[in-house]
Amino acid sequence: MSVLIDEKELPQELTAEQAVEAAYCSELAEVASKVQRGLPTLIECDKDLAPFLYANLRNRLRAANLRCLYLDGRPRQEEQGGTMPAGMIGTMIAQLREAVRGPVERRIVVLPHLDLLTTSQGGLTTEAREVIPLLYENPELVWIGFKDPSFPLPQVIENLFPHRVSLLGIRRDRLRYLITRKESRKFGCEFNPWALYKYVSGVNAVRLRKLLSTLEGEDYPANPAHAYRQLRQATLGGTLEVPTVSFEKDIGGYAKVKAQLNNEVLHLLARKEQLTNEEQIRAIEELIPKGMIFWGPPGTGKTLFAKAMASEIGAAVTIVSGPELKSKWVGESEENLRQIFHAARQSAPSIIVFDELDSFASARGTYTGSGVEHSMVNQLLTEMDGFHREEMVFVVGTTNWVEILDPALLRPGRFEFHLHIPYPDADARREIIRIYDRKMDLKMSEETLEYTVRRTGPGYLTPQGTPFSGDHLNAVCRSIARLRLREGRTDTSTPRDVERALTEYQDRPQMTPAEERVLATHEAGHALCSLFCKHTPPLERITIESTNPWAFGYVRHQDPAHRYIRTRNEYLDAICVALGAREAEALLLDDLSMGAVGDLETATALARELVEVHGLGGPEVGVARFVSDNDERQRRAHLSEGQKEALDRAIRTILEEGRQRAAEILRRNRALLETLRDLLLEKKTIDAKTLAQFAGNNRMSQGPWPEGGPAVGGKS
């Protein structure tokens, strides 16, 4: 069945009263039927809609010979000169008291301002404490109450109404009856109410008539974008705006993340916009996830991806900080959530972004706070379950730890779509830096760009000890831009500028020449052993002026060719390299510093893994896995003393053979070790290019063992 409608099928004119009847006829008929049978009814609707709903119900009830008493707080004509209390609420209470304690026959009493009896937090006002007993005093009265969705009602008042109906926005199948022929011409030759619904789903019928009657522009345009733009601007509530973030221009790299978001969400939405068959549209709507979790480390662009998605579909974005939702007042946190969802539905299409969702939506039963989180999770679930599939309202929760979220949120139908946004890889870093280079006019050369990519890659950490995220790359580029501005430069940015941006203002240890010599010897020992170990990744950088708080110097290797499979020889080479620094100190300094603690820990851990986990401990130990977890207290609890001693001997053998191998490499190439140490003392930092020249200019002898080193657990 096609959703396109011929202009002749639309009404010529529409009043607000006719629009209300067309939009809510079935719901109003049900309310009138319930009231006629004596069932009090609560109607949730916008304030500007309530008078029109009442007028419609009054006419329906009059046809059944029933009269309504409308208590809106305005003095009736016969009361103008009386002694009624001043003020709207006082007048309303007096009218209510008179209605309750007046004639005994069954009457219908309409309460259009129930929200005035409560505070914005749902607590009871002084007036409410007087009114509540009156509401329950006369069982012959049939109540019709109107509830503003922006304000909660105390449970004691809601309990008065066994029947409740919510008239928020309009149903899609009624939209065709709410637009005139003249107005439909602003949307092209063929009117598609389902396409229009995207922009007005949260608008009530009365407000919709006002919006449509003010549309400007030519009739039958080739592109109805102008008419939709007017509606979009009119439905944006408060300070909401549609962001202008481009996936291509503003988010660099992350091809896999973009593809997943496009394939699972955006492609379906685009396909839906192209369809005119009702069954096909409904089928696609069943597939589109309305709740999404964007998770990953801080600073990787989770909120930016949500804004880019909003830009793609023309949606307004509401960004909500989880901690800001919490309140010490009972009920206020849940009320904050209600108002956010109500505003989002009125401004559809829209996206609600809950930043730091885990701050209140952790798994129930794990809270350590006041307990308000439990109520907030329940309220969030209630609001999400209230969505209709045709509504273009999406909820995105961002978190660093998806595993701690409440499982009830993650089931299908709620936050069912999970998008992992990790730290950027080399390609993503390159594209991110290109974007900032263009925006900040940094004029980076290709060499500088590639240096920045390497300098912020694996093995390099921020001062906080984390890998570089997109935010960190932004900070680096801003620092370079400030540097260029201070110096009035218009030339090309260089790798030195990048290094200055990263390290210029960081505190560095002031080492004595003797300490620098020890450190240079230590790092040169690592580097030289790496050069003679075939299964070690190529060297990228050596430095003795590190800004890292956990190391005064370091040797950095390039990314390994094989990242997911490691071999025995790679383990043995890594042990040799780890122990090389200690052996270099013993060879050239005739003494040992206490700086090899981390190296010994690394080498020991590798040897233990070979023996206890991978079954490479030699004939005495045999081929078996001896540990089942990483808990140091339990890893050997099930073994006999003899097995433990055999494992320890095998581990000591591997470590000793690695030490001997490193010592022999350094002894045979002592001259190279001293040259490398002196070069490091002179330059402080040696990059891959200088290392390649060093290796090419110095004839290197072969290592003491054939490729791969000695057999594990055996004699060399």
Q: Contact at 8 Å (CB) between 291 and 408?
A: no
Q: Contact at 8 Å (CB) between 84 and 75?
A: yes
Q: How far is CA 605 from the centre of its chain?
A: 36
Q: Which member of 335, 356, 391, 523 is catalytic?
A: 523
What does the radius of gyration of the chain's CA atoms come to, in whole angstroms? 36
Residue written as token pair 């921020």 = 462
CA distance 115 to 119: 8
Q: Contact at 8 Å (CB) between 5 and 193?
A: yes
Q: Contact at 8 Å (CB) between 19 and 205?
A: yes
Q: For 59-78, give the DSSP string.
A: HHHHHTT--EEE--SPPPGG
**Runs of H (alpha helix) within 188-331:** 193-200, 205-213, 225-235, 255-261, 267-274, 278-285, 302-313, 322-325
Q: By three-state DSSP, how is residue 118 classified?
A: strand
The DSSP secondary-structure symbol of 154 reads -
Residue written as token pair 């005119």 = 276
Q: By three-state DSSP, how is residue 112 classified?
A: coil
**523 is annotated as an active-site residue:** yes
CA distance 659 to 644: 23
* Residue 66, phi then psi, degrees to nearest 5: -115, 140
Q: By three-state DSSP, how is residue 713 classified?
A: coil
The DSSP secondary-structure symbol of 191 reads B
β-partners of residue 555 are 542
103 preceded by a cis bond (ω within 30 of 0): no
Catalytic residue numbers? 523
